[in-house]
Structure 1
Amino acid sequence: MISKNTIDTVFETARVEEVIGDFVQLKRAGSNFKGLSPFSNERSPSFMVSPVKQIWKDFSSGKGGNSIAFLMEHEHFTYPEAIRYLAKKYNIEIEETEQTEAEKANVDLKESMFLVSEFAQKYFHDTLLHSDEGKAIGLSYFKERGFSNETIKKFGLGYSPESWDAFSKEALGKGYKLEFLESTGLTIVKDDQKLLDRFRARVMFPIQSMSGRTLGFGGRILTNDKKAAKYLNSPESDIYHKSKVLYGIYQAKQAIAKQNNCFLVEGYTDVIQFNQAGIENVVASSGTALTPDQIRLINRLTKNITVLFDGDAAGLRASIRGIDLILEEGMNVKVCTFPDGDDPDSFARKTSYEDLIAYLDTNAKDFIQFKASLLMDDAKNDPVKKADLIREIVVSISKIPDRIQREIYIQECSRIMDISEQVLVSTLAQLVQKDIAETGKKFKQEQKAFEVVKNEDPTYTPEKIDILYGLERKIIEILLLYGNVEDEFEDVLMKANEEGEIETVTEKKNYKVYQRIYLSLQEDEVELANPLFRDIYNDLINYFHQAENFNMEHYLMQLNQDFAQEVTDILMEDEKVTLHNWEAQNIIVKQKNQSISQYVSETILTLRWFLVDKIIEELKGEISPEPNADNSETLSTAMDYYKLINSFSSKLGRVMSRYH
């Protein structure tokens, strides 16, 4: 178990903008940073990072928290794993305490799969470097490909022995459970319960997440066995989804963000060879057709993709569809091809870094130029084929979300294909209109289905704004933002005058905001109704009572993880455009010209009024409709409460509407 001292050091050292910057391209926005959400598909940034508060908030998905919360959400780390990751990032030595049996048993199934995959990566790597079979077959193959020891280590390359069950025996002997060896696809259990290693006699390429966790493997066979697949991948599992990962993203992420460009290739060795040549901002789709999820992974780091193809014309045509997918995501795409007989691997191996950079710069074409040059040979002088080619290019342009970009590409297409802009614009308009119509039709169908469900569901009721929820949340917000601020408040006291009559006297006195709220709620014997707000309120009040000065960073560091999401939402609320008309609901929103004491007093008075209003409604429900019933006491009590509401209204300086 990780010691508290280590955890405290990690929290004090880690910077949320640096941690998230490894996964998301962040741009300065005033005192904050913004970027595209890594949790949803979006084109406009709604992901905010606050270096001052050391928290982040994703307004599209509603998620938020500190750097630990981000790693737990994005990388599916457990809390200890997130601490270990940050300790490694910031070179912090981890102090361990003995882990209890209950803590060991608490590791979930997915985590067990990760542990098995990590063990397998180390096993294959050690086998490659230290076993006779690994060195003779696997290491010699990698050396023939020109990979240095440093590169082999960087990518964690390995070798799986030819023996039927060498890996499975080793893993079971180390205490790893068969169910996880099977669920990760590393071990195949035959009908007769015999165990079989999936990747026998193959060189191994570990496939890692953006944070470096081993998700699965690709294995290449080195024999000429025609019955066996040349490349074999891990099967789909709870931790490995082929369509959502990119090979090399862990090694490439920082270079992609720094260079503001990503080179996209097809194979493992293409990535490794480019990386060894000095070009690190390169990833591969691992031989699968490019998917929207893979493109979005790159989109978090850069808007620019350069797709690298070998000189095989048939392969080029088959890959054109991926370009349209990139355009649909609002990204900029270029294409670079290599001479016949060369692929990125072979070309990088025989070319110096300077010449390789120069070649990529010179030969990277805009996607229109690429499509035109690729398909023009087929069209030649055939007007029908040329028309089809132009239409195909306009279809690609129609995928671009940005109108200005579309117009620029139309002009470029007009120039290259020698056709009037007017015709192209007209064709584009038809395509865009068709897409809009189809989208609208789909939306109407979904709405119609929703209406049917709504009408058939007798329990359906329109969503109402929860007033009490909003008021209690506002109290938590005030405590977080202003709790330790001291201001002048008005106290209303009952005193006897010179004639001995009791009268109301107003006195001004300084309080810290948290003291004022605490005393006010204690006086009214009010406990927050929402269980989460009640727990956060108690936690905050205890913290204020124990700490001389409120330090937001320190408070967030010791904050219970169950509270982190809500606290982050509240702290980042001022970064979001207010969508609700709170004033119309009598929920106070602090204005810039409003004092903190006034803001606090109005919020507490409004909460009091709401609670009194609820009491009045309950009293009204107690009034008997019987003709001879005596409701005088109930009515008298209700009138007293009405007078109290009028006094609140007077203090607030405005007429209060009823909630009901």
Structure 2
Amino acid sequence: MISKNTIDTVYETARVEEVIGDFVQLKRAGTNFKGLSPFSDERSPSFMVSPVKQIWKDFSSGKGGNVVAFLMEHEHFTYPEAIRYLAKKYNIEIEETEQTDEEKANADIKESMYLVSEFAKNYFHNTLLHSEEGKAIGLSYFKERGFTNETIQKFGLGYSPEAWDAFTKEALGKGYKLEFLESTGLTIPKEDKPFDRFKGRVMFPIHSMSGRVLGFGGRILTNDKKAAKYLNSPESEIYHKTKVLYGIYQAKQAIAKLNNCYLVEGYTDVIQFHQAGIENVVASSGTALTPDQIRLINRLTKNITVLFDGDAAGLRASIRGIDLILEEGMNVKVCAFPDGEDPDSFAKKTSYDDLIAYLENNAKDFIQFKASLLIKEAQNDPIKKADLIRDMVQSISKIPDRIQREIYIQECSRIMDISEQVLMSTLAQLVQKDIAEIGKKQKQEQKAFEIVKNETSIQTEKLDILYQLERKIIEILLLYGDMTEMFQDVLLKTNSEGKIEQIVEKKEYKVYQRIYLSLQEDEVELANPLFRALFNDLITYYLQNENSGIENYLKQLPEAFAQEVTDILMEDERLNLHNWDGQNIFVKQKKETISQYTSEIIISMREYLINKLILDLVNEFSDKLEEEQEELKVMINDYNKLKVNLTATIGRIRSTYI
């Protein structure tokens, strides 16, 4: 594991504006930077970066956080991958924490395999571009496919020489160990002499989502009928073919931004689409589509468009993957190319605009596609038509969302001219074994819905008020928590004449201390679970990091709090987008009256809670005996007096919340 010292150094060194500037064109806006959202298409900039706070906020998508959060969102790195990326960018040496011997050995093995794979990619690529054999055979092949030098560079395409051990000999000469050449599958062991697995093939490196080389696909260029046309790296510690997608590293940003992923079958399909200008495309690399591959896409988008060859047999074979996609809760469309065409050949000879138009006009809903594909076989045969309908309902049954299932049932009913009732009955049998249990479940869901609906209509206004008050408390802690302010305490004392009078005392507090002590005094904790957790986290931070400000907290902002925190912190910054000052509109800063602002929020929360107590007592009143009712009257009267005293402390009568 990466040591805490390294992580702290990374957060201290990395500058959010510099890192994001590598991916987004930023322009200065006052003390901040702004730019177009990298997560959505927009014409007016709503993406803001705060160098002072070291956070960013995308108002179009609602995403936000610190520098690591950006890399995890934009580049889809894991947390350790983001830390390693930043360490490499800022030349920070990575320290590893103490591990068991077994953990160290496993980590060393995997890292060594990654290093060998990276060396192999560079070796094959350089051989393709700079050796006579590579240029004459490999480069010529890629040029015949229409690939440009830029495309070859982008995908790291290469060539493995025809000699039996050219790569192995080169790797061993560079100091790479034979055991790792063999464990990655690059070298095949043999007692007398190990040899290259991919000799005489053009090479396609297969990357992880973060860009590490996992394995290779190699295509033979000779007419040797005994050799496989395509050869992939074997399964290893770093390469699991059912868990990777070819092109995911190059496509991830386009997939996330366009909110759609085109799924094809082969390496050249992906590459040709990229070269045609369509980058949100990946391939299953000739393997049957798996749930792990689908979940990989699901990290980027909920929408998949499966692209099939015009070949009928290929369509029938590939259509099985649709049910898996539906089962993962994703939206799927299908687009087939004309007979004799595949994504590679079609993209090669079609302009960008025509290709986009074809995909948009011919992408069908999976129900329509299945019907159009299989109805020809059924024709006037009732048995085959029944089997087709059953097959379509089988696909619908895989969809987790009930509303979507019902919509697709309606569509299937319309297309196949069969009653919805029959289809629903068939669907019920497929989704659940016991129809009675389904009916019970539906009733429970309906009943639960009615209860929630009724409760919501009663409580929404109340919850909204409490939500806003609690959010204001979090806002104050984030913006001004470490500031020292003069606060007024109103004390009730008995004077010499025996009368109770208010005594005003002034005392300095840290803002976070004032809020914490006030809520402790009232024995109140925040009702909203997120705000409660965030409140506790912030108070703990301030107690442990006195006089250090909020900046260090933001640098290592917990992921669970990132969106809410950046929403709050960047709300004021968003005003800069509108240039109010330039229009002679000047907004009063809360910082100028922070003690009063804090006091008013605390008192408002007290008022709200007192009003709630009063209302609860009033609701209990009719159910109580006469003696108990008198007690309730006294309690209600006392709470009303307390409320009057509260409003007097801030010099004005506040509105009633309940």
Q: TM-score range by the shorter chain?
A: 0.5 to 0.7
Report Cα offsets for 1:259-289 as digits up to 9, x if no partner.
3322211000111112212222211111111
Which amino acid counterpart does residue 171 of structure 1 have in structure 2? A
Tell me, yes or no, if the aligned pair for 1:25 and 1:300 is still in contact at 8 Å. no
Tell me, yes or no, if the aligned pair for 2:266 and 2:284 is still in contact at 8 Å. yes
SS at match of 1:270: helix
Which amino acid counterpart does residue 127 of structure 1 have in structure 2? T
SS at match of 2:347: helix
Q: 1:545 to 1:206 in 2, by over 3 A?
A: same
What is the CA distance between 1:135 and its match in structure 2?
0.9
Matches of 1:101 and 1:65, distance apart in 2: 19
Equivalent residue number for residue 126 of structure 1? 126
Equivalent residue number for residue 143 of structure 2? 143
Matches of 2:200 and 2:105, distance apart in 1: 36
Equivalent residue number for residue 154 of structure 2? 154
2:86 to 64, 83, 86: 83
What is the CA distance between 1:177 and its match in structure 2?
3.4
| Greater length-normalized contact order (CA 8 Å, ≥ 6 residues apart) | 2
Equivalent residue number for residue 228 of structure 2? 229
What is the CA distance between 1:205 and its match in structure 2?
0.6
SS at match of 1:335: strand
Q: 1:541 to 1:180 in 2, by over 3 A?
A: farther
Equivalent residue number for residue 508 of structure 2? 510
Equivalent residue number for residue 484 of structure 1? 482
TM-score calculated relative to the size of structure 2: 0.62
Q: 1:101 to 1:12 in 2, by over 3 A?
A: same
Equivalent residue number for residue 19 of structure 2? 14
Tell me, yes or no, if the aligned pair for 1:278 and 1:353 is still in contact at 8 Å. yes
Q: 1:439 to 1:172 in 2, by over 3 A?
A: farther
Residue 334 (structure 2) pairs with residue 352 (structure 1): no
Report Cα offsets for 1:389-416 as digits up to 9, x if no partner.
1111111122223333323322222222
Which amino acid counterpart does residue 509 of structure 2 have in structure 1? Y
SS at match of 2:329: coil
SS at match of 1:205: strand
Equivalent residue number for residue 174 of structure 2? 174
Equivalent residue number for residue 547 of structure 2? 545
Q: Which runs of 5+ in 1 are unaligned?
A: 34-48, 59-63, 88-93, 441-474, 499-504, 521-532, 576-591, 602-660
Equivalent residue number for residue 251 of structure 1? 250
Which amino acid counterpart does residue 349 of structure 1 have in structure 2? K
Matches of 2:36 and 2:196, distance apart in 1: 35
Matches of 1:281 and 1:71, distance apart in 2: 14
Which amino acid counterpart does residue 286 of structure 1 have in structure 2? S
Matches of 1:129 and 1:435, distance apart in 2: 64
Tell me, yes or no, if the aligned pair for 2:489 and 2:507 is still in contact at 8 Å. yes
Tell me, yes or no, if the aligned pair for 1:25 and 1:302 is still in contact at 8 Å. no
Tell me, yes or no, if the aligned pair for 1:114 and 1:215 is still in contact at 8 Å. yes
Report Cα offsets for 1:232-255 as digits up to 9, x if no partner.
112223332212221112222232
Which amino acid counterpart does residue 383 of structure 2 have in structure 1? V
Tell me, yes or no, if the aligned pair for 2:244 and 2:293 is still in contact at 8 Å. yes
Q: 1:13 to 1:544 in 2, by over 3 A?
A: farther
Q: 1:66 to 1:414 in 2, by over 3 A?
A: closer
Tell which deviates more after alignment, 405-414 or 215-224: 405-414
Tell me, yes or no, if the aligned pair for 1:71 and 1:77 is still in contact at 8 Å. no
What is the CA distance between 1:429 and its match in structure 2?
2.6
Which amino acid counterpart does residue 273 of structure 2 have in structure 1? F
Tell me, yes or no, if the aligned pair for 1:483 and 1:512 is still in contact at 8 Å. yes
Q: 1:17 to 1:163 in 2, by over 3 A?
A: closer
Which amino acid counterpart does residue 399 of structure 1 have in structure 2? K
Report Cα offsets for 1:457-509 as digits up to 9, x if no partner.
xxxxxxxxxxxxxxxxxx9999767641445669999xxx99xxxxxx99541
Equivalent residue number for residue 315 of structure 1? 314
Q: 1:357 to 1:24 in 2, by over 3 A?
A: closer
Q: Which runs of 5+ in 2 are unaligned?
A: 1-5, 25-34, 48-55, 99-103, 440-472, 497-502, 519-534, 570-596, 607-658
Tell me, yes or no, if the aligned pair for 1:207 and 1:215 is still in contact at 8 Å. yes
TM-score calculated relative to the size of structure 1: 0.62
Question: Could you tell me the percent identity over the aligned residues?
Answer: 68
Q: 1:299 to 1:107 in 2, by over 3 A?
A: closer
What is the CA distance between 1:423 and its match in structure 2?
1.7
Tell me, yes or no, if the aligned pair for 1:124 and 1:158 is still in contact at 8 Å. yes
Within a 5 Å distance, the mapping from 1:350-429 to structure 2 comes to 350-429=349-428
Tell which deviates more after alignment, 327-336 or 537-546: 537-546
Tell me, yes or no, if the aligned pair for 1:263 and 1:283 is still in contact at 8 Å. yes
Tell me, yes or no, if the aligned pair for 2:147 and 2:275 is still in contact at 8 Å. yes
SS at match of 2:432: helix
SS at match of 1:414: helix
SS at match of 2:262: strand
Which amino acid counterpart does residue 226 of structure 1 have in structure 2? K
Matches of 1:433 and 1:6, distance apart in 2: 51
Report Cα offsets for 1:4-43 as digits up to 9, x if no partner.
7997354443359979x99996899xxx99xxxxxxxxxx
What is the CA distance between 1:146 and its match in structure 2?
1.4
What is the CA distance between 1:126 and its match in structure 2?
0.7
